[in-house]
Structure 1
């Protein structure tokens, strides 16, 4: 327990083989607020740490074979997702909405006291002009209808990668130099992967007064002190 008797987080993290999920998991491994971490992946993440257990499972649309391993957690950081670029509308919907909802429905049934933190994205809008923003918006809305203790939707934008992690997307090495130039003039659009991880941890542990967190909210919660 922390000094304010906040229960330590026992987390499930998805998407740790991607840039965002790996960065979030990295912050969780360092955090004194996190007691244990279950990574649920299709392929090995290569992450080893005394807090971490990893479950490999091919079909995220059917979790029946691993349900017994998903019990006893009080937080889920859902970082699994794909870009809409080069993906059909049907495939994007199946992964972004159907897979996410099935995973979340299973967790809400197994863990009544769980807080779900979902990685969405800046520009998400169920009535938006683009397909990806509408699908993300529907996902956000429907997650909030499930029987979780709390659901928080995180909407990061451009994120400076965490140095030294292996899943950083290649194009970032060409644009990261712009971060200190853009952040002062675009504070609502520029953040860091470290801030996202810290913001998710603090939000899950202490709560927040809004269930949707944009870049400024994420930065506020990254700096949160109880």
Structure 2
């Protein structure tokens, strides 16, 4: 498989990238980044691109992919609906519309969020915007679109959030994760499980287009092909 990854330097993207690089069925991962990450791996190639609303200069490099894992996102904290919509809906659709034209046989996996409002009518701004983003993605002519809605995510293998206050919360909660996982086994997913679940969506398909935390945990709990250390 050849995979295009957005958001490779974020917490979720780091976890997804790790599982992709460990999977023997993944031949190449191309990470679209705004600046070089410094990470080196035989299967990893980075494309440095500054404008995530305009892909004209690099279109020729964005064809021939089996899947796109879109893990790029921003917090709604401090943003009005117009700004959040531009950085969530408009940015995502700019990439997805272009990719659907270049890669119609692609599986597009979008990391959304628990509580997303598919009706687009609710009171919570971020949930409405995410819902509109999901709905518009499902109208694009990909082979398949899967919408991942994880809840609380436990970072593993030294993965950290680049958002300072998020990381502070994860640092404080770290010792509590084993208990929380025991109390809420269908609500808390690890970065490892999420990465494996997204790979399975491409390899084996998924029972539904929208996958909530419990669905993702079930997919990610089943080991795929023998992974590299």
Q: Residue 189 and residue 129 in structure 1: after superposition, are their counterparts in 2 closer, same or farther (change >3 A)?
A: farther
Aligned equivalent of 1:61, options 48, 53, 64: 53
Normalising by structure 1, report the TM-score: 0.92
Note the alpha carbon deviations across 1:157-191, whole angstroms, 9 max, x for none: 11110222354652211112111111222223211
**Residue 120 of structure 2 corresponds to residue 105 of structure 1:** no
Q: Secondary structure, in 3 states, of the residue corresponding to 2:133?
A: helix
Q: Paired residue for 2:75?
A: 83
Q: Paired residue for 1:42?
A: 34
CA distance in 1: counterparts of 2:51 and 2:151, whole angstroms: 29
Q: Secondary structure, in 3 states, of the residue corresponding to 1:67?
A: helix
Q: How does 1:209-224 map to 2 (within 5 A)?
A: 209-224=207-222
Normalising by structure 2, report the TM-score: 0.91
CA distance in 2: counterparts of 1:134 and 1:96, whole angstroms: 11
Q: Secondary structure, in 3 states, of the residue corresponding to 2:140?
A: coil
Q: Is the 8 A contact 2:16 2:191 kept in 1?
A: yes
**Runs (4+) of structure 1 moved beyond 4 Å?**
166-169
Aligned equivalent of 1:184, options 182, 185, 194: 182
Aligned equivalent of 1:93, options 85, 90, 95: 85
1:14 deviation in Å? Answer: 0.3
Unaligned runs of 5+ in 1: 1-8
Q: Residue 142 and residue 64 in structure 1: after superposition, are their counterparts in 2 closer, same or farther (change >3 A)?
A: same
Q: Residue 66 and residue 222 in structure 1: after superposition, are their counterparts in 2 closer, same or farther (change >3 A)?
A: same
Q: Secondary structure, in 3 states, of the residue corresponding to 2:189?
A: strand
Q: Secondary structure, in 3 states, of the residue corresponding to 2:182?
A: coil
**Residue 124 of structure 2 corresponds to residue 127 of structure 1:** no
Q: Is the 8 A contact 1:11 1:75 kept in 2?
A: yes
CA distance in 1: counterparts of 2:215 and 2:160, whole angstroms: 27
Aligned equivalent of 1:155, options 136, 142, 149: 149
How many residues matched? Answer: 218
**Greater shift in the superposed pair: 169-178 or 140-149:** 169-178
